[in-house]
């Protein structure tokens, strides 16, 4: 068994004593159970009919499982349904994660987050660069064509600060235990899954549940 949260949330999980496990090999399931592979957020309103289904991936640059999950989410995005909106939200459960959340949103504000996702992941997980401070991050970004003056402005901007605070609120409101985690329309969230393939399948299952709620609102 592999701990899907592992180093991603070692400090956070130790504080609450929760583990999310990853089992290999993959086993295909036609259906998933509420309270096992996914959770219903009963304190949130049903999915509105007049809004697109929104899929949110919660991640952290420093999480090895998020790095390993990235090819799966990219493949899924190639066939993403037209009625589904996808967003990434950085976790902020400890000091390094929160710092990297600012980095992500600063790059997002500059239109560089997608281009540099693999660059940052590989720097951290292949090259051993922890990107632990602003100097290390700026050196990597400068090597990859980012305007550092604009990056510094973005890091200090109200826009970025507001998004980091909103991400923190979302993570807490959804009761997430680790990353990567998937949420659908603020109503359904992934729970315990056996592998990355199953996490994708659970996401598709939650999308269908969201569509079912939209139809019931007629």
**pLDDT at res. 26:** 40
- Whether residue 175 is predicted with pLDDT greater than 50 in this model: the reply is yes
Mean pLDDT of the chain: 89
Class assignment of domain 2-216?
alpha beta
**pLDDT at res. 9:** 62
**pLDDT at res. 217:** 75
Q: Which residue has the higher pLDDT, 50 or 30?
A: 50
Cα separation, 120 vs 148, whole angstroms: 16
CA 48 distance to own-chain centroid: 22
Question: Taking residues 29-55, what's their average pLDDT?
Answer: 90
The domain locations on the chain are 2-216
- The percent of residues in the chain predicted with pLDDT above 90, rounded, is 81
Whether the CB-CB separation of 38 and 32 falls below 8 Å is answered with yes
Look up residue 101 and give its two tokens: 């959340």
pTM of the model: 0.88
Lowest mean pLDDT among 13-17, 35-39, 125-129, 134-138: 13-17
**pLDDT at res. 199:** 98
**pLDDT at res. 2:** 30
Instruction: Using pLDDT thresholds of 50, 70 and 90, give the confidence band for residue 25.
Output: very low
Phi, psi for 185 (deg, rounded to 5): 55, 30
**pLDDT at res. 96:** 98
Cα separation, 15 vs 17, whole angstroms: 6
Cis amide leading into 34 (omega within 30): no
Q: Which residue has the higher pLDDT, 183 or 6?
A: 183
Question: Taking residues 2-17, what's their average pLDDT?
Answer: 46
Look up residue 40 and give its two tokens: 């219903």
- Whether residue 65 is predicted with pLDDT greater than 50 in this model: the reply is yes
- The percent of residues in the chain predicted with pLDDT above 70, rounded, is 86
**pLDDT at res. 18:** 37
Instruction: Using pLDDT thresholds of 50, 70 and 90, give the confidence band for residue 4.
Output: low
Q: Residue 46 has what DSSP assignment? A: P
191 CB-near residues (< 8 Å, 6+ apart)? 20, 35, 36, 37, 38, 39
**pLDDT at res. 31:** 85
Question: Taking residues 81-104, what's their average pLDDT?
Answer: 97
């Amino acid at each position: 068994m592999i701990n899907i949260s592992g180093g991603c949330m070692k400090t956070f999980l130790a504080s609450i004593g929760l583990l999310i496990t990853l089992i290999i090999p993959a086993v295909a399931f036609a259906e998933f159970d509420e309270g096992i592979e996914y959770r219903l957020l009963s304190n949130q309103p049903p999915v509105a009919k007049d809004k697109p289904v929104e899929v949110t991936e919660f991640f952290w640059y420093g999480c090895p499982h998020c790095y390993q999950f990235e090819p799966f989410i990219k493949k899924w995005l190639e066939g993403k349904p037209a009625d589904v909106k996808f967003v990434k939200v950085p976790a902020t459960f400890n000091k390094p994660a929160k710092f990297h959340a600012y980095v992500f949103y600063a790059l997002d504000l500059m239109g560089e987050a997608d281009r540099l996702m693999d660059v940052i992941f590989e720097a951290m997980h292949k090259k051993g660069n922890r990107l632990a401070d602003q100097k290390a991050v700026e050196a990597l970004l400068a090597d990859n064509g980012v305007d550092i003056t604009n990056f510094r402005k973005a890091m200090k901007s109200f826009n970025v600060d507001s998004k980091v605070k909103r991400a923190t609120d979302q993570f807490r409101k959804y009761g997430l235990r680790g990353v990567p985690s998937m949420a659908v329309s603020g109503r359904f969230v992934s729970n315990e899954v056996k592998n990355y393939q199953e996490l994708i399948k659970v996401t598709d299952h939650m999308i269908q549940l969201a569509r079912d709620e939209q139809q019931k609102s007629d």
